Amino acid sequence: MLHILFPKECLICSKIGLWLCKKCQKKLVQTLPTCYICKSLSNKYCTHNGCLDKNSLNKITTIWKYNEYGKSLIHSYKYKHRFQVGDFLFSLIEDKLKTFDMKDSVLIPLPSHKMKILERGFSPTESMCELISEKYKIPVEKEIIFKKQNNTNQASLNYTEREKNVLNIFETEKDRVKNLAKYKQAIIVDDIITTGSTLNEINKVLKECVPEDFNVNALCIFQGIFRKNESQKSLQSDR
């Protein structure tokens, strides 16, 4: 009934029918497979051996570049039309996920602080994990990693500040993390990656409890553009 009174319309151009009309969907630009550390091309988004340091992830796969079109989708999903836009967003990425190696994996939603979850009424990364899990029959581990502090929004900070802002803000359920070793790899799911500081920090705390050869990867829907020593407030997502 509601959708008859308020029909879906394109978040960008207001065309009736879809949250992002076919024409505007074409403005979502696919990312090239790159290493998230040095940003140059790399096979299947793997981090180059020479770029890996002790906290970096083996790979961070992304789908689209974060632009105004992506921003409209993410903001609407997080703050306005949680279920409908969530399902729509998933329908857009569903096919692309088929090529992603998720065999014997476990999904871990990037944690939000409990105050943020209360404010929004849900965790966007958890909901996205549930959609992926249902479709591809991959387990999700939710109560495994927590954000201790409701830290400053990363979007307002520069590169160095971002690293400091996430330092030691996560804690884990150690016994549950140890249990992850029964899977081949853990895939942390997030909506947008910019510098990767948050993911590195999560990787650091997970690695304290799993065997050294256990793989921690990430899947992020959008890839933000971020130059060192610069804050790009306007286009970043809030967390």
Residue ranges that bind Zn ion, judged by CB under 5 A: 10, 12-13, 15, 21, 24, 35, 37-38, 48, 51
- Residue whose CB is less far from Zn ion, 81 or 142: 81
Least distance from Zn ion to the Cβ atom of residue 35, Å: 3
Least distance from Zn ion to the Cβ atom of residue 22, Å: 8
DSSP for 126-137 reads HHHHHHHHHHHT
- Residue whose CB is less far from Zn ion, 19 or 222: 19
Q: d(Cα 219, Cα 36) in Å, to the nearest integer?
A: 12
- Residue whose CB is less far from Zn ion, 1 or 49: 49
Question: How many CB atoms within 10 Å of residue 239?
Answer: 21
Least distance from Zn ion to the Cβ atom of residue 8, Å: 11
- Residue whose CB is less far from Zn ion, 12 or 235: 12
Q: d(Cα 222, Cα 182) in Å, to the nearest integer?
A: 29
Q: DSSP state, 152?
A: P
Q: DSSP state, 235?
A: G
Distance of CA 175 to the CA centre of its chain: 24
Helix (H, G, I), strand (E, B) or coil at 194: coil
**Hunting for tokens 């500040």 — which residue is that?**
161
Q: DSSP state, 151?
A: P
- Residue whose CB is less far from Zn ion, 172 or 223: 223
Least distance from Zn ion to the Cβ atom of residue 66, Å: 18
Q: DSSP state, 143?
A: T
Alpha-carbon torsion angle 12, 14, 19, 25, nearest 10? -50
Least distance from Zn ion to the Cβ atom of residue 12, Å: 5
Least distance from Zn ion to the Cβ atom of residue 31, Å: 15
Whether the CB-CB separation of 217 and 207 falls below 8 Å is answered with no
Report the Cα–Cα distance between both ends of the chain, in Å, rounded.
32
- Residue whose CB is less far from Zn ion, 12 or 117: 12
